[in-house]
Chain A
Amino acid sequence: MFGQTLYTQWKWNRDFLAFYTAVGFAAPLVILWIALPHLGLTSALELVSVGNAVGMTTAVIASVAGLTVAWQGYGIDDRVGHIYALSLPITRRRALAMRAGAAALVLALPALGVWVGATLAAGQVALPATLHSYAGSLASRALLAAWLAHACMFALRYSAGRQAKMVLATLLVGLGVLGIAVVLLPPVRGALSSGYAFLISNPGPFGVLFARWTLIDV
């Protein structure tokens, strides 16, 4: 049963997965090939900056991959009114768990692309003794980021259904209003800043997306 669910997930998402895997693989190599000749490779700081650029690009790719897989997977069920999914003889909880599990597995592909690309890219650079490459860590974080982004979009889509776009827009507008409030109302700035910091820094729920991502570091 799960094998067949995984297979359908693969068939739904394989075009996008192939794209994100290729981009995840190519991004570290391309960034290093573009950046290195111009930076001169003399400074450890410059190398760390390039590593950061790879890390941030990887975070974006992983997040978008997670969001896309969740959005697309729901869309296919939604197109047939969820009738097929609801008519199968399993509980909704189990159906959702299998769908989320299958998506989590296929999202390993872009992370695998990142790992291979980052390993090859790191191998192109003669790192000073003080620096190390972290291709494995970067790929692991890419996987976690993809899962997190997927989980958020999956929860939003399956709980809000057709209204997901409206809920998403409301959330974004709400964040914008909060940003303005922070600027205009100094008394609330402290509380909001603390909340924001909790959300985006480790071990906050979105820490994996916003904390420091890098391929090359000390």
Chain B
Amino acid sequence: MTHAITIENLAYRAGRHFAIRDLHMRVPNGSVYGFLGPNGSGKTTTIRLLLGMLPPADGTISVLGHDVPHGAHHALARIGYVPERLHLYPMLTVEETMRYHASFYGRWDATEAKRLRRAFDLRAEQRVGRLSKGEAGKLMMLLALAVRPELLVLDEPTDGLDPVVRRDVLAALLEYVSTHGATVLMSSHLVHEQERVCDWIGVMDAGRLVAEMPMHAFRSGIKRLRIAGAPAHASPTPFGILARRAGAGREEEWVVRDWRDDMTSWFANENTALREVVDLDLEESFVETLRAARDAGGRAA
């Protein structure tokens, strides 16, 4: 499998309290990669690092085969980027912004840009500084898609948008991806939105990538088990234990990853009763993964 983005041993420090440490991340070609994490976990910083906007302290970044930050401008020519906040010049009109943006991209598709402007109901003469949040979000998505990118990097692209605009923006994105087979890296803390559109998931917390796996593995592999008579020290398990908590009576609750149905036999061998296997939705899986990572981090500290 080739990767649109490969990050190895990345380190970056911003101030005294935030650092990205030893970050490894691979975004497969053609995937829609959901980049999940709580606010302040380092998603935006990682995105800015991989676009060459910030210099890493250590490690290597490769985007579409280009070394970043040195070859960032080559990579950026093939990337559509939507930042978390409006980044365009407020005194330009929509039409002027499109012309300005187009002048930097040899791949600019003027016909598609006009079609999207009409589809998004954006007025050409409207000044960017006077656009509503929804209109600004649509314009940024228009600019990102009209450069016909091989990679779309979207930093909270629907954050703060109303449901109608969010649907329009996501529909345009999915239409582009299905037509052109582009890779998407989409950061968000809206877990359910990621669940609908992503096929890979990476979870970031406190500057570390604490989980990275295909969406189906994340969705179906993390379970909550209700167990009676659990051993104090479990022998090696075929699944990963994310959390272990006391339940009612002698019962325990385990949150596990990489779960498969045929693993129930392990409990029989351990003389332990597996009472129930509970499916978790993506949000619960996300929360449990974060909790486990924080517990592990706390123990390590």
Chain A residues with CB under 8 Å of chain B are 1, 3-4, 7-8, 11-12, 76, 79-81, 83-84, 86-91
Contacts and interface: CB of A to CB of B under 8 A. Distances in A.
Nearest to B102: A4
A12 B104 CA distance: 19
Contact of A84 (B75, B88, B105): B88
B96 interface: yes
Range of interface residues on B (Cβ < 8 Å): 20 to 34
Interface of B: 51-53, 73-77, 79, 81, 83, 85-92, 96, 99-100, 103-105
Nearest to A84: B87
B103 A1 contact: yes
Contacts of A11: 89, 91-92, 96
Contacts of A8: 89, 92, 100
Q: Which of B83, B96, B100 has the most CB of A within 10 A?
A: B100
Nearest to B105: A89
B46 to A, nearest CB: 15
B76 A89 contact: yes
B67 to A, nearest CB: 14
Nearest to A92: B73
B53 A87 contact: yes
A85 to B, nearest CB: 9
15 contacts: A3-B103, A8-B89, A11-B89, A11-B91, A81-B87, A83-B53, A83-B85, A83-B87, A86-B51, A87-B83, A87-B87, A89-B73, A89-B74, A89-B77, A89-B104
Given A8-B92, A11-B92, A83-B53, A90 B87 contact: no
Q: Which of A7, A79, A81, A88 has the most CB of B within 10 A?
A: A88
Given A1-B103, A4-B99, A87 B51 contact: yes
B283 to A, nearest CB: 29
Given A83-B83, A87-B53, A7 B88 contact: no
A4 B87 contact: no
